Structure 1
Amino acid sequence: MGTSADKPKGYIVSPWFDWVFFLFPPILALGLGWGISGTDFSDASFGWWGWEVTWAGLLIGIFIHAHLVLVFLRSHANREIFRLHKARFLLIPALLYLGMISSDHVLITASVVGTFWDVYHSGMQTFGFGRIYDAKAGNDPKAGRRLDWALNQLLYAGPIVAGATMIDHFEDFEEFESVGVLFFSEVPAWMEGNQAYFTWALIGGGAGFLIVYVHHYVQLARKGHAVSWQKVFLYTSTGAVSLYAWGFNSWGEAFFIMNFFHALQYFGIVWAMEKKTMLRGLRLEGTRGGKWLVLALFIALPLLYGTWVQYLDTQLHSLWAITLVVSLMHFWYDGFVWSVRKRQV
């Protein structure tokens, strides 16, 4: 019988789980993007409850919103986490919702902010996984933290600003036209006209930063900092996929690729950390088949929410506001409910 000393070190859950849900998903998503490119699955539209959709667009939309709502299992269902931030979890969502249903300006601002917070948040998720892997390797959770943060923002946001999908993100500013704020609606055209300057700045600055980053970690390693190869693999593969997908979008599947692996990783981490919370909450601990029932609910209920969001007409502002609250709280809560420094993961 193996002992704890025989178990592979440096993984968050286990080798197979980490590879399936954390490490391999960026490469898997890239392969899926290549596989569906140019197929009817991705290009052929059909009517769905009055909407013209493609299977790829519909399913990735459901998956995206399903993973967004999962944060509440961590924030509200986990009693220890909930007790730490009650006001943030109860008061802020209510105030935000009231603001959005009371003012279209607030609603549109929340929608546009959500687009760019999503970009920042996505880089932060990869950053967070890397910090967990560093901690699992026995390193000081503060060592190299700022550089890792900057690296992940560079690798995720950089290709968006400098690449083929820039206008797809910045065109959200045009939503301000609907509330008569024309200044912000001109941002997409300005970005398009000046993208070349951002591109060269990111190439030059990014190259210099990578030199500083590698040099810093070489110095840390000489001082005894353990190199987490899981973190290195994750950052390298995610950065390469981000650069290719967001930067070039050769197959036209950048949104599918980047959102697929991001959501899959999130399903994985929430299940790994909160399955016991769900078992306790439903009083199914130790029951026959309890874990499988909880797993079925864990998958089905978020997907039902995601399906509802895809069906939703955003002209119904009171309902659209609910989805924006879920999205914004997901981006915000994730910044403090998975703290490595506080040993919450």
Structure 2
Amino acid sequence: MSRATAKSPWVASPPLDLLLIAFGWLIAYLPLALIDAQFAAERNVRLYNARIQWVILAVLLVNYVHRHYTFLLVYGDRAEFHKHKSAYVIWPLVAVAVTALSVQLSFFTVLAGISVAWTIYHTIAQKFGILRVYGGKAGYGKRWIDLGFVWSGLLLVVLVVFARERTGILAQYAFGRRAIQLLEPLLPILPWLRDLAAALFAAFVGLFAVEEIRNRQRLSLGRVAFAISILALYALFLRSLITAYIVFGFSHALEYVVFVNAFVRSKYRRLPENHSPVARAVRRYWVVVPTVTLLLALFSYGGLRWDAKWFGVYIVGSSFLHFIYDGLIWKVRKPDVARPLEVALAPTGDRSPLA
């Protein structure tokens, strides 16, 4: 890439980037690992379930908060809303109608399965997007290498998990059983495909490392740390599918919350004439933003306590809005996104959104 060097190589700050964006997933992983170790020693299922439910609840709340951040960005700023006004009016109506029909006509599990599949794509796309932001800020990094690094890793994970869990945990869930049906024809050549995917992933890891070494004079520590965190998260799938899925989801939500907070603070500092609710909230950041975040968490907790089933329906239905809206908002090639991020020049032809 040819571009000017940005003012700061960090998205938020060195501590926040390293402790939360790159390795914040440890907040969820360490308690899960400790609970697993205690269970291995005690073999007390009741105690295990009591302990793990609190970790899962915390992960769910962070996940639900991050999804609602997107709606605040859209409906809390008139300028952002008017960029895609029709979409922001029509898509909620479509989501309500489709979700209601799915419940009425008994195909909600299909809708939930689509949401899970889209969540996986959405999560990996965000990892790729953040890598691109770090590259854009530092002034180096090839798009095709970053793309191959992230997606070849996912391919390897899918094949390894399928080979190991097709008669285990995957078979216990409707989405897993559907995935097994889709991949079953590959069984005769699965070992060959797995080895090929491993070689491909190793090649892209090598290419990524070479690119970092070649640009060591302007090396982005945030980018390197984030890449290492992706490798570590992929490695978790070798230990436990459930743990890895929970931790991966938590990492996605937490990095999004930190990223959005850094973005809006930078954006509205440059727009003193903007008096939207989001802009006003950012100008009283340490009062309003934590309060709003806490209220979103309480709303989500209340929904789970009131009726977990129907709140789950709401979450699945609204998840599609989150996916679509993020695709509209987070395109780093657009100046109004690149400028607050201090990316001097967004990657040419980079069509992948942040999330």
| Structure-1-length-normalised TM-score | 0.74
Which amino acid in 2 is paired with 1:110? Answer: L
Offset from partner CA, 1:111-143 (integer Å, 9 cap, x none): 11111111111111111111110111124xxx6
State the distance in 1 between where 2:121 and 2:279 align. 37
Residue matched to 2:325: 333
Alpha carbons 2:70, 2:326 under 8 Å: kept? yes
1:311 and 2:302 matched: no
Give the C-alpha shift of residue 192 in structure 1. 6.8
Matched, 1:108 2:112: no
Provide the rounded CA distance (Å) in 2 between the counterparts of 1:81 and 1:194. 45
What is the match of residue 181 of structure 1? Answer: none
For residues 34 and 279 of structure 1, the distance between their equivalents in structure 2, rounded to whole angstroms, comes to 46
User: In 1, Cα distance between the equivalents of 2:85 and 2:217?
Assistant: 37
Once the two structures are TM-superposed, the CA of residue 296 in structure 1 deviates from its matched residue by 2.4
Aligned positions of 1:204-283 closer than 5 A: 204-211=196-203, 214-215=206-207, 218=210, 227-243=219-235, 245-249=236-240, 253-275=243-265, 281=277
Contact 2:95 2:320 in 1 (8 A): no
Of the three residues 316, 319, 336, the one matched with 1:324 is: 316
| Greater alpha carbon shift after TM alignment, 218-227 vs 29-38 | 218-227
2:85 aligned partner, one-letter code: K
Alignment of 1:30-69 (within 5 A): 30-39=29-38, 44-45=48-49, 54-69=53-68
Larger mean Cα displacement after TM superposition, 84-93 or 252-261 = 252-261
Kindly tell me: are residues 91 and 13 of structure 1, through their superposed partners in 2, closer, same or farther at Cα, counting changes over 3 Å?
same
> Given the superposition, is the C-alpha separation of residues 95 and 210 from structure 1 closer, same or farther in structure 2, using an over 3 Å criterion?
same
Work out whether 1:119 is the aligned partner of 2:113: no
CA contact (8 A) 1:64 1:259 kept: yes
Rounded Cα–Cα distance in structure 2 between residues aligned with 1:107 and 1:334:
23
2:12, 2:258 within 8 Å by CA — same for their partners in 1?
Answer: no
d(CA) in 2 for partners of 1:42 and 1:145?
48
What corresponds to 2:147 in structure 1?
A: 149
Report the Cα offset of residue 188 of structure 1. Answer: 3.4
Distance 1:234 1:325, change over 3 A: same
The aligned residue for residue 71 of structure 2 is 72
Report the alpha carbon displacement of residue 232 of structure 1 after superposing the two structures with TM.
Answer: 2.4
- Write the distance in 2 (CA, Å) between the matches of 1:162 and 1:303: 35
Could you tell me which residue of structure 2 aligns to residue 182 of structure 1?
none
CA distance in 1, matches of 2:171, 2:178: 10
CA distance in 2, matches of 1:203, 1:233: 27
The 1:332–1:96 alpha-carbon spacing in structure 2 relative to 1, beyond 3 Å, is same
The answer to whether the Cα contact below 8 Å between 2:17 and 2:222 also exists between their aligned partners in 1 is no
TM-aligned CA distance change 1:308 to 1:147, over 3 Å? farther
- Residue ranges of structure 2 left out of the alignment (5+ in a row): 1-5, 40-44, 269-273, 342-355
Shift in Å, 1:98? 0.7
User: Structure 1 residues 38 and 192, CA, compared in 2 at 3 Å: closer, same or farther?
Assistant: farther
Does the 8 Å CA contact 1:69/1:327 hold for their aligned counterparts? no
Contact 1:161–1:195, Cα closer than 8 Å, also in 2: no
TM-score scaled by length of structure 2: 0.73
- Where in structure 1 are there 5+ consecutive unaligned residues? 1-6, 47-51, 176-184
Give 1:300's match in structure 2, choosing from 283, 294, 304: 294
Aligned partners of 1:66 and 1:304 also within 8 Å: no
Residue 285 and residue 225 in structure 1: after superposition, are their counterparts in 2 closer, same or farther (change >3 A)? same
Q: 1:60 and 1:159 mapped to 2: Cα distance?
A: 22
**Is this contact kept in 2: 1:61–1:310, CA < 8 A?**
no
